[in-house]
Structure 1
């Protein structure tokens, strides 16, 4: 008779009890914008200080906080390079909440035990207020904190915007214009705005990543995160009630972030945006595919050469950064989808591509990579499902018979009046389409 087969056992659900971790740390930080990047970046840095727990909120995804609650805030961080993936359990999220939990949100922001609020709300989130926006919710939380005694707090934006602390400060000032003078004075005197530069490539996890996480850890994780080995966090600003020991995980505190912001936005994010719009037009789906495509690889190198002419950091720093970026982009362990990067071009292009383009045009130069990025964006608006805060407007403009000019005008009126540039963009659209064929 055949030997009976023992049915395979499913791995236990990931919880603090099953993993043998201790109880959640007391909540001393709040995060707005719970998603993969926060869980691969700020939450990992905070884990280096076991005295600090995070209450994390999302206003986009009701399923994620429910899943994390069922897992006691635990999840698997899967780090993928060119070798075998590595995994660790992250335990710094003490509580996870949907955005509809307004009462809990207001209570957390009012608590004097909470010393800081970090945010990952995308670039667009800083330019809208009211109607339940992120800025509106932060204002409501600060208003409640002021009424509850007015303990100081640090606001730490972690989105890719130049001077993101100042951007958030101005957004809060604008949102608070109708508030009473006492609250506005408290906002100026007791709320600090910290500038940051954040960097870690974090693609969307797939079903196979949950399978890999279970194999690596022995636990069934329904909210795994996939990321690259590299991570960077630079900060400048005050923390009046203290902060976690983020430096224990490699964070750096500096006096001036301007050069680092510029480097990150132009070299990493700018190259990503360039590839996000030209790569799909030439049949590439991911960053690693695109940088192995010779014409696209040449465009990236040309873009970095062009940006280097206007960057403020020393040449040797930029050269080293370029070398590291090329290795990161080429990694086969990270399948970073170009169409995911292509989301929100109207917010990304002005910060990542246009500053270098303007500087070049002021010197009467016409940089091919910037032209290519705009041409690829035009093709994207015409041919694909567009996810952008200005999608309806931009798609209509792109699909008119007027070429590149009205789309470029939506970003920068002066550039739209540059006939040589507009002609070059229109011609490059034809070039990309011919190259694809």
Structure 2
């Protein structure tokens, strides 16, 4: 049956029947829907792997997707135009505070995978990489779960994971895999640390149970996915006839590399193009340094020049030269063949120039306090160990300092008060304070 023009997207006219829920996802933003949900959709056993997805704090996305029975249109924008695809892998969508649903799913032995995309800041890490127990929300979560392990109200991602695992342990539902999909090095170990820390505060026996029953998979993820615009929704309506309030625009390119155990099984993501490897780190560093690093460089430096998007910025010869210099500084320190690095750089330029993707520099600039330490600092340290200051690398930190001083994209950061205070005083003072905060206190960098 064909849709009536403007009819809301639903399984009546599009997509597959909802599959049994076997995956729970935390953080149902655009990236997840363009990436892990898309790989699940394209797995040959997709009919066996439904996803129950939970939002962050807002219920708006859950309401929009639930009204469409979990369906949404992925709008793949490339140089050849826009191609719509209906994704059916979300069997249920809930607001993040629906803890009863979360506990119910995690207590079900059929659910064997938990994925997450909540940004670096969402995992509530302290400076040493462990759980930030000084965070008021983290402290409240610990108190709530100590007082009531099976019904306590929690608000953080580590708290929600531990609440679900408490329910799973109580139900005897067996082992599962936790699969973070955020741009954080060794993200599996990172989530294992914060979850283990919180579990230990709540119940030391739970900490031991987690170690025995939960695997933490490390991933590298890549697909440029900007915010949805009214134009995206209008294009989908024109191409499909459907009124879709949950459209997700993205690029043709996609990459997913995973390493770790899945004790209860997983979808055949590798048949959909994902790579399952023994060691994610070479791919992780390539993406983190070359793509994410150059993104941050453009977000801070190119926005000062007045550019709003990646596509605008990369056409500026000055910005292009900055990006190339950054790659020249980072590339030699990757544990990959030089030909692979060169090919990846060329592919990135093609992706950045894609006129169909409006990737806002202001969006990329957010949460620099989490991003700069992992995108810029390792490259700068590697250059210093080689005996050079590498201006192509240090420019990123200089641009971040300028950003914190009010130039270019606005500061949107969970630690805004802390990091903007670093950039006060004279420019030299701001640079020195920021370098010290980044643990890069080297005179060669100040000049």
Structure 1 position 16 matched with structure 2 position 26:
no
Q: Bigger CA drift: 392-401 or 318-327?
A: 392-401
Structure 1 position 85 matched with structure 2 position 82:
yes
Distance 1:248 1:121 in 2: 26
Distance 1:317 1:273 in 2: 22
Distance 1:272 1:60 in 2: 27
How far 1:150 sits from its partner (Å)? 4.2
TM superposition score normalised by structure 1 = 0.91
How far 1:406 sits from its partner (Å)? 1.4
2:445 is matched with 421
1:235 alignment partner, SS class: strand
How far 1:409 sits from its partner (Å)? 2.1
TM superposition score normalised by structure 2 = 0.89
| Structure 1 residue corresponding to 2:268, chosen from 245, 265, 283 | 245
1:237-316 matched pairs, under 5 angstroms: 237-316=260-339
1:404 is matched with 431
Distance 2:400 2:57 in 1: 26
1:186-197 matched pairs, under 5 angstroms: 186-197=209-220
Of structures 1 and 2, the larger Rg is shown by 1
Number of residues of Structure 1 aligned to a counterpart in Structure 2: 411
The answer as to whether partners of 2:217 and 2:260 remain within 8 angstroms in 1 is yes
User: Structure 1: which 5+ runs fail to align?
Assistant: 1-8, 425-437
How far 1:267 sits from its partner (Å)? 0.6
Q: Deviations over 1:269-317 (max 9, x none)?
A: 1111111111111121111111111111111111111111211111111
2:73 alignment partner, SS class: strand
Distance 2:197 2:207 in 1: 10
1:40 is matched with 34
The answer as to whether partners of 2:176 and 2:213 remain within 8 angstroms in 1 is yes
Structure 1 position 121 matched with structure 2 position 118:
yes
The answer as to whether partners of 1:106 and 1:144 remain within 8 angstroms in 2 is yes
1:87-106 matched pairs, under 5 angstroms: 87-106=84-103
1:386 is matched with 411
The answer as to whether partners of 1:150 and 1:186 remain within 8 angstroms in 2 is no
The answer as to whether partners of 1:88 and 1:217 remain within 8 angstroms in 2 is no
How far 1:363 sits from its partner (Å)? 2.5
Structure 1 position 374 matched with structure 2 position 397:
yes
Give the alignment's Cα RMSD to 1 decimal. Answer: 1.4
Distance 1:89 1:103 in 2: 29
2:150 is matched with none
How far 1:60 sits from its partner (Å)? 3.0
1:58-207 matched pairs, under 5 angstroms: 58-126=55-123, 127=125, 128=132, 130=138, 131=140, 132-207=155-230
1:208-227 matched pairs, under 5 angstroms: 208-227=231-250
Distance 1:114 1:272 in 2: 36
How far 1:10 sits from its partner (Å)? 4.7
